[in-house]
Chain A
């Protein structure tokens, strides 16, 4: 097979390093940066540096916990300060010496009083409180998306703040709460930061993190691959909230004294500001944002009280740190809207090139076995979809047979894409049934249809644009239930099958139109589908690319026995690939049969005003040509 059309603009080596080795080194690099920054501060500035580093490490831990949700889901959370508050109060109440507690909180319910817990035990309690609260709030919150979810997190913050103030017997209300031991030393904070950074990174690269990033980039596409978007968000929200509660406990033990206002808008906005400055989508960005903000604020803080340098007296300028932070945020939004560290994790290119040789990627997985003939067909009966003022599909009945490439043609507005959208659960039909074997598709959730072996591509490409080509396909392999090395091997197999092995590390947003289409198909194939619904796969491709795509599709059909529904305007392409063609016009089926029957069908000729017949004579791709 020739590979004339692989994207030349992205020049990469043929072989790639094992993803596990790559992620191991990237995480190690981030941890090294945190260590250097923290230990460096301590080494250079002594006790002052140690304190700056302590606060910095707690911030890193908080941001890492926040990034588990916000970074992967793309939903900025204003609610994490609330989780931190819950953790701080929980740990504070459970660890306070009984004597101090009796005098400060005389009305504390006896169930909560006098525990004098050790810090690890209190951590578990904070974690559980965070977990429980996240699970409860998640029920409501995760029905929402995007900006409305963000606003809901703000609501959570305000509610928790009010409840903490109102629960005066437990929290001392708006008055200062104190008495808990101040155990957040430099070493404790550093360890906390490293653990949280590692957890955030591992979560990001885990199947849950990857699935959520896919949902972030395109929820509909993720669901057609079998990703349960709501569950993906829920897992991240709960983990993130629980960890934020633990970080909050350490923050409380650092402050020594606090009231609900320490966990309100100021903390929220400083967390979000650090995340936005560094970059929302990566752990490197989260860590980097904290380092940059700390470096800026603490260096300016030392000089804002005024100083004398070489005999020149510089007057005090209080508020300089706040002004500088504001300017930094403006500059970042203006020059680097994705944050200082963009969408890519910190990496050492030299190291990663070396890894290609030290730890090469797995070989491709074996091609899936040819599906046995006589598998379930996708049967459509009386399918109708009406929108206000328009009947998009009108009483359609036909069969998409297993192991066969069925063509679906028709002029613009014939109802082709509406049909695919009904088959994969994006639209509910107005009337009629869709059966796959014995199962009614309308009874299955949109993300469950993928699990039955029905995959689709989209008319306008819907890739996960901030994910790499490899990750795009990996989402599907993992959603199909494959884990670890097996999933990686499937990715290699499908990228090779579509001729994409040279661009595995490219970000999807950088792909050409033709390459993007192929990634979409590779993504479907990673699910090992029985039926593949292709919505204009050749649109936007040049003739060479179209020809190559035809070769690949026929090869896949021949090797694996995948049934396909091919929607296309390019009749040459359809005629070359399909043995059975259905023609729609204005929502109605007007013809069905072999290419030859369709070509001579009067209704089809009429619908296409003769163009189809004229072109059929020029068909260049033939079945024979392709299979040799």
Chain B
């Protein structure tokens, strides 16, 4: 046994020597991205979009047109222990910036390390608003759960909906937090929550919850949930099958081709979304460029958000005028109305979770229909 381990060690050291050495004339970014496991559906498109735009930046000479960006990408397998180990390796290799996976646990764990080392860190698409509380160097990039819920709750009230029923799952911060923030804003704006149900992630059968909703009299105007796949499809089919016709409102996880492909059951469903590729917009232009270059359709917002992260970092380094990590952090934290492709973003005055516009969209005939784009007032957004 010892012999085989020695052999393996020898093999690894040979390979380690084959890796490129550190060059000082570039900007070195470490990327922690789950290529398998529960985070892969978010991290894979985020990484693809990020890489694509880093390549674009480098094609123009890099940051300031002079300093190319160099990447070291590590797979975390959606495992927090692996993520920490990989993050420490990246810090050993003197990265200047770290991009972390799209979830709170690994990002918080990485943040503890990077805050100590003073290396700015940005999560791919983590939306839990508490995520950046770990320290001054940790940034979000995507519109947070409370931001999304504020926008949909306000829209629901504007449409005149008075009562809402929420369906949430304590198994994830996202599926629990979204409906709770929604309930908070909806109530504050004069609406009433008439009931709530809990479900488990990957629960195969929603008939009990649907029966409870069906028994509410009068029927709620709105049923709100942050359920994702496969729970949302199972839920909406059971709900519509039971004849409940209440308006269903969901979160940005519904912004996928598979949800839109569910047919008539999802017709009329309203959901929040990080962005919308309006005709002639930068977003639409990105999608076209991405399709042309990779042959792959950017069919959710994580691609374009990944791209935005590349440009956010570029802007921060250029504004700071140096690659010094603390100067870059300060520059990033003070960006106001930064020019984003998915949407503009503001870090100034936030707890490093950006204020960005949130799109409200409706599904009709398998298409995502743009309703409106709002940037909520910071005072209206519930505290994390």
Contact = CB atoms under 8 A, between A and B. Distances in A.
A42 to B, nearest CB: 11
Interface residues on B, range: 35 or more
Nearest to B104: A176
B92 to A, nearest CB: 5
Contacts of A44: 9, 13
Contact of A303 (B6, B15, B35, B111): B15
A47 B88 contact: yes
A40 B2 CA distance: 10
Nearest to B12: A299
A166 interface: yes
A2 interface: no
B74 interface: yes
A262 B105 CA distance: 9
A24 interface: no
Given A259-B105, A262-B105, A266-B79, A298 B12 contact: yes
Given A44-B13, A173-B176, A51 B5 contact: no
B176 A174 contact: yes
Given A51-B88, A298-B12, A307-B18, A258 B4 contact: no
A309 interface: yes
Interface in A154-178: 162, 165-166, 168, 173-176, 178
B84 A255 contact: yes
A262 B108 CA distance: 13
Interface string A278-310: 000000000010011001101101111101110
Nearest to A288: B1
B105 A258 contact: yes
A390 to B, nearest CB: 46
Nearest to A166: B170
Contact of B74 (A162, A175, A305): A305
B371 interface: no
B363 to A, nearest CB: 27
Given A52-B85, A318-B36, A45 B109 contact: no
A409 to B, nearest CB: 55
A11 B126 CA distance: 65
Contact of B134 (A37, A47, A178, A251): A178
Interface string B96-123: 0000000011101101110000000000
A530 to B, nearest CB: 49
Given A45-B13, A175-B128, A165 B170 contact: yes
B18 A257 contact: no
A33 B77 contact: no
Given A288-B1, A303-B15, A258 B134 contact: no
A33 B84 contact: no
B230 to A, nearest CB: 17
B73 interface: yes
A255 B13 contact: no
A295 B177 CA distance: 40
Contacts of A305: 72-75
A575 interface: no
Nearest to B172: A174
Interface residues of A, number: 56
B253 interface: no
A261 interface: yes
A258 B86 CA distance: 16
A304 B75 contact: yes
B194 interface: no
Contacts of A322: 36, 77
A321 interface: yes
A37 B5 contact: yes
Given A52-B85, A178-B109, A256-B109, A321 B5 contact: no
A529 to B, nearest CB: 44
Nearest to A341: B1
B216 interface: no
Contacts of A55: 81, 85
A56 to B, nearest CB: 10
B105 A176 contact: yes
Interface in A1-59: 33, 36-37, 40-41, 44-45, 47-48, 51-52, 55
B5 A40 contact: yes
B37 interface: yes
B5 A291 contact: yes
A379 B82 CA distance: 67
A263 B57 CA distance: 40
A335 to B, nearest CB: 15
Contacts of B92: 47-48
A308 B112 CA distance: 33
A175 B92 CA distance: 29
B23 interface: no
A165 B171 contact: yes
B334 interface: no
B254 to A, nearest CB: 20
Contacts of B79: 266
A309 B18 contact: yes
A178 B112 contact: yes
Contacts of A304: 75
Nearest to B47: A318
Nearest to B72: A305
B187 interface: no
B336 interface: no
B108 A176 contact: yes
B8 interface: yes
A45 B12 contact: yes
B1 A261 contact: no
B89 interface: yes
Among B77, B80, B131, chain A packs the most CB atoms within 10 A around the CB of: B80
A251 B35 CA distance: 24
Contacts of B172: 174, 261
A307 B15 contact: yes
A181 to B, nearest CB: 10
A41 B12 CA distance: 11
A166 B1 CA distance: 44
Given A44-B13, A174-B176, A299 B8 contact: yes
Among A41, A176, A178, chain B packs the most CB atoms within 10 A around the CB of: A176
Contacts of B82: 301
A198 to B, nearest CB: 19
Contacts of B72: 305
A302 B16 contact: yes
Interface in B1-39: 1-2, 4-6, 8-9, 11-13, 15-16, 18-20, 35-37
Contacts of B108: 176, 178, 256-257
A33 B1 contact: yes
A36 B85 CA distance: 21
A319 interface: yes
B236 interface: no
A308 B20 contact: yes
B130 interface: yes
A254 interface: yes
B327 interface: no
Contacts of B112: 178, 182, 256-257
B170 A173 contact: yes
Interface string B125-150: 00010110110000000000000000
B317 to A, nearest CB: 24
Return the 4 tightest CB-CB contacts between A and B, nearest first. Answer: A318-B35, A257-B109, A257-B108, A176-B108
22 contacts: A37-B2, A37-B5, A47-B92, A104-B133, A176-B109, A176-B131, A178-B134, A254-B81, A255-B84, A256-B109, A257-B112, A259-B104, A291-B5, A295-B8, A299-B15, A301-B74, A301-B82, A305-B72, A308-B20, A309-B15, A309-B18, A322-B36
Given A254-B81, A257-B134, A288-B1, 18 more contacts: A33-B1, A40-B5, A45-B12, A52-B85, A173-B170, A254-B84, A255-B81, A256-B109, A266-B37, A296-B8, A299-B11, A299-B12, A299-B15, A301-B86, A303-B15, A304-B75, A307-B19, A318-B75
